[in-house]
Structure formats: C-alpha cells, structure tokens
Amino acid sequence: MKIERIVQESPTIKRFRFIPTEDELLPAFTGGAHLKTFLQADDELFERDYSLISDPRNRQFYEIAISKDSNSRGGSKYWHEQIVEGDELEISFPRNYFTLNVHAKHHVFYASGIGITPFLSMLQDNQFNQTMELHYAARTPEECAFYEVLKDKYSDIITFHFSRVTEPNRLSYEHMKTNRIGSHVYFCGPVSMVEEFQDAAFSYGYPEHAIHFELFSNGLDNSNLKAFTVSLTESGKEIQVSDKESLLDVLLREGINAPYACKIGGCGSCEVEVLNGEVEHRDHFLSEDNKQERKTILTCCSRAKEENLTIKL
C-alpha cells in the first residue's frame, strides 16, 4: 500500500489514507474492523493494529487514525514523525472482533479520545437500518478528533462530552441506566474507562451478549513479572519465558505456529489449551466464569502462576 494522504485531525491525532500500489479493489470489511500494519524502521519492525475509519463500502482506499502516545514504544511516534505521503508499507487483511450485533434493537457507542476510531466505520455501516447513538468524550472541542465532521453529519445521534470547558459535561456510565430494552452497548477508550463501563453494564443487568468493547492497550503493570517454563506437547519443545517477555513472544521467536491477533488480551485469538499448571489470567477477554471453568491461556499476556506450565501447541 502507498500513503496517499496525511491529515492532522487534532493536536495529537493524524489520519492516514492508503491506496493499493496496483490498480485493484481492496478487500471488503465491516464496521468496527481493524488491520495490522508493518513498518520497517532500520533494524526494528513495528507491527501495530489500527481500526479502519473509512466507509466499508469504499474499496478504493483504507483510512486509519493514530494518536501520538507520550508512552509510545516507537510505533505511534514513528508514524507521526517519520511517515510522509508517498511512503509504502505492508498491511494485513481486515479483521473484525468488534462487530455490530445484528440482533440489537438499538446500538449505543461510548468513546473516549482515540477510542472514537472503530465507531467511525460502524456509523457508516448501518446495513440493517438499526438505530444508533454515540457518546464521545474529549477534553475540549479543539482536542476532539473529527469534531466538525461528526457534528455536521451525525448531529441528531451524537452527544459530545467535554471535561475542560466552562460548563463540563463529563461522560458517565450512569447514562446506561436509561437505554431502552434491547440496547447493545459498545465501549472503546482507555482500559480504566472500558472496565468501569463494563462493570457498570453488568451491574445494571445488561446480558453479557449485549456488552461489547475494544482495547488499544492492555493497561497491565509488567514491573513484577516472574519467569517460567513451558512444555509444548505438540512440538515436544520446552521453552523459557523471562520476566521481560510474553509467552507469545517466545513462541513466535522459537518458530512455533502460535495463533494471535491483537496482542493485548482483548480478542481471544491466541487462546490455547492448558494441560497442566495454573494460569495467572491477565486478559480482558475471558469472563470470570471462563477463567474458572476453562483450562486455557491467552499467550499474549497471561502467565504461569508457578514455575511450570504445559500447553497443547
């Protein structure tokens, strides 16, 4: 793909448009989908997932939006400071773990900051003519990415929640109390916000199938991790996982064909069966009941409670 256009949407967010390097239509996708980008910078490969924000019906180009993270591990900083129009890169096919539920009577989106991105394609992909509403939190209108477009195009279904203005209108999970029966709720933003809204939705009686979320980071504290050993029954290997890396990182480095997608414990793609040992679950995908009942591990973030673990891989 080639970077055709770069637009500064807010002081910290840029929009990037890709077009194919050959004259062909791009694969179709649905609202809420994301793709993986691959950027080679000297000796380092930046492999990152970003939500597609363009119209799913338009197969001429893809668009993503990236926030420059002050705690960046290099990816967002490289996108903002090094990438220019005309650069080329490789991308994956679109994937979607954050889809619009076709059985919902009403969709209610709750976004904070860069968490607006998956909802931009969802708003354009209402193929079942279901009703929608969006609640979008930012500090000020000036720092609110896509403010003018959303205000002009979706003024009848969007409520902005600004926290640093003369009369603040902060986003609160209590809004979910008044959603009509049959509503599905969708959350995207910082981990703390998503967890807070998710817990509130359960406490208000929303069924699990009506609660949807997507994360851009796992928000985990990795400062006191312990090393452990993993035995692989399918390949017959035994690997060592240090306190500085994930089980998935080691599996991939060892050439094991391990499944994965988001790498932050939000999608469940890397889940594998555990045959022996206890798991320290650190993901946001499995419910508490799942963690108790299923003998599995999400290799991208969860770890062994003790020194040894045996998995079917």
Domain ranges, ordered by start, for the chain: 2-95, 106-214, 228-311
pTM, whole model, 2 decimals? 0.86
- Tell me the per-residue pLDDT of 6-30, one tens digit each, with 9 for 90 and over: 999 999 999 999 999 998 999 999 9
Cβ atoms of 282 and 302 within 8 Å: the answer is yes
- Tell me the per-residue pLDDT of 238-273, one tens digit each, with 9 for 90 and over: 999 999 999 999 999 999 999 988 888 888 899 999
- Say which residues have a Cβ less than 8 Å from residue 240's Cβ, sequence separation at least 6: 227, 228, 229, 230, 250
CATH number of 2-95: 2.40.30.10
- pLDDT the model gives residue 128: 73
- Say which residues have a Cβ less than 8 Å from residue 180's Cβ, sequence separation at least 6: 105, 106
CA atoms of 138 and 162, how far apart (whole Å): 5
Q: Which class in CATH covers the domain with range 228-311?
A: alpha beta
- Tell me the per-residue pLDDT of 185-219, one tens digit each, with 9 for 90 and over: 999 999 999 999 999 999 999 999 999 999 877 77
- Tell me the per-residue pLDDT of 91-113, one tens digit each, with 9 for 90 and over: 999 999 999 999 999 999 999 99
pLDDT at residue 72 is higher than 70 = no
Percent of the chain with pLDDT over 90: 81
> Mean pLDDT for the chain?
93
CATH number of 106-214: 3.40.50.80
